[in-house]
Every structure is written in structure tokens, then in C-alpha cells.
Amino acid sequence: MLIFFNGFSQDQRTYGLRLGFDISRIPLYLMDPAVYGLEFSADFEAAENLYPAIEFGFNKFSIERENYDYASQGNYFRLGADYNILKLDAKDQYEMAFIGIRYAYSSLTHSADNIHIPESYWGDYTGMVPKEPINAHWIEFTLGLRAEIFKNIFMGWSFRGRLMLYKNKENIIDICNIPGYGKGKNNSSIGFNYSVYYKIPMLRK
């Protein structure tokens, strides 16, 4: 009885849905208020060292220049899995060094306003570009670490290498920022996130 109430056995492992929130968005917003977004994630240990994952978020971006204003906003999701390459010393050890892959999709709109084109002969021109819908698909490779800080509470970071698969051909404006991806005119990008997680314990065996 004493053993039962003193704690869990090291021969058992807790499984459950792990929910995450990317806290790196907070300092990013403080450094650059033009970019505002949130990202959430969910993963679980489906098999030994294999963690299917889903991430989703939204992003708003706006810049004001002397001769135009630009704004975009949209949502994104990523589907994939991470594989833990760390050898566990005990069954109740949850630290991870992982590699992974994601398929990602983003849907956004962008527009430009207060466009001012100096024209010394006929007079300065002002105009705007109405909202254009944009879709983008890309593949993402992940590399990171994740560790249990307190019971069922994790922190972790990952680097992301992204390869664009498809995006709408821009009509008038270059896409400045694709939510979840980065600079729209680049065919590849690198990202970083830093998240906190909570694992909802569901099963112990």
C-alpha cells in the first residue's frame, strides 16, 4: 500500500495528448509589432519514439511605408510526425531529441492601400490594390529538443527547414509574409519555435 501511494513505478510510462503553445511569438511581437500571430500544437506518442503532430495558427502582418501600406492575414496548419532519436534510460523518461516532417498549408489575403506614385509631369497618382486571396503549400523538416520540466509539463524548441511546393501566382503584389512560412517570395525558409506543453495523462502502462 505504501509503495502504491508513494508514486508511480519507473516501469510504467504515461501516455496522453500533449498540447503546446509557441511562446516565441511573444518576444517576436515585442521586437517587431508588425507581425502578430499565435501557434498551437498537439501531439501524442502513437508508437515507441513516434509522435504524430498537428500544428495550427494564425498571423497578421502589416507595414506602413511612406508610399504604401501593406496588410495580410491568414491561417495555417501543419500535419506530420516527429521521431525521437534519443535512447531512453527509463520507461518514464520523456526527453526527446527529434527529427520530423510536416505538410503545411496556409490560406491568406493581402492588400495594399494608400499607394502613392510620384509623377512630376501629370501629377502624383494614388491608388490601392484590393484584397487578393492566396493559398500556399509547403513541406517542412523539423529538428529539435523537448524535455519534461515538471510533471507533464514540457518545454522545447525546434528548427524548421521549409520548401515551398505551391503558391498562387501573385497578381500585383509580392506576398510579403505567408502565415506559418515566412517571406512569401522565397522558395525556402528557415524557422524556429519555442513552445511550452502540457500532456494530458490518459493511459499508464
Partner 1 sequence: MTNASKYFAILIAVFLICSTSSCTKEKNCDQSLISAAKISMFRGDTAMSFDKVSIVGWNNDSILLDTVNNVHSFSLPLSPFQDSCAFLLQIGPYVEILSFKYTHDLQFISEECGFASSFTITKFEPASTFIDSFDILDPVVNISETENIKIYL
Under the criterion CB under 8 A, does residue 129 sit at the interface with partner 1?
yes
User: In this structure, are residues 171 and 132 in contact, taking their beta carbons and an 8 Å threshold?
Assistant: yes
Residues in CB range of 107: below 8 A, 6 or more apart: 74, 75, 76, 133, 134, 135
Q: Does 183 bind partner 1 (CB under 8 A)?
A: yes
- Distance of closest approach, residue 199 Cβ to partner 1, in angstroms: 15
Is the Cβ–Cβ distance between 74 and 108 less than 8 Å?
A: yes
- The interface mask with partner 1, positions 90-119, x = CB under 8 A, is -----x----------------x--xxxxx
Q: Work out which of 85, 133, 166, 174 binds partner 1, going by CB under 8 A.
A: 174
The radius of gyration of the chain from alpha carbons, rounded to an integer in Å, stands at: 22
Question: Which is it for the CA torsion 24, 28, 33, 35, positive or negative?
Answer: negative
Identify the residue among 21, 56, 194, 198 touching partner 1 (CB under 8 A): 194
Which residue among 10, 127, 165, 202 contacts partner 1 (CB under 8 A)? 127
Q: How many CB atoms lie within 10 A of CB 13?
A: 18
Decide if residue 198 touches partner 1 (CB under 8 A). Answer: no
Q: Which is nearer to partner 1, 54 or 97 (CB)?
A: 97
Nearer to partner 1, 54 or 129 (CB): 129
CA-CA distances (angstroms) from residue 165 to 29, 58, 78, 111? 28, 20, 14, 23
3-state secondary structure of 81: strand
- For partner 1, the binding residues (CB under 8 A) are 24, 27-28, 31-32, 34-35, 61, 63, 65-68, 95, 112, 115-123, 125, 127, 129, 145, 147-149, 155-157, 170, 172-174, 176-177, 183, 192, 194
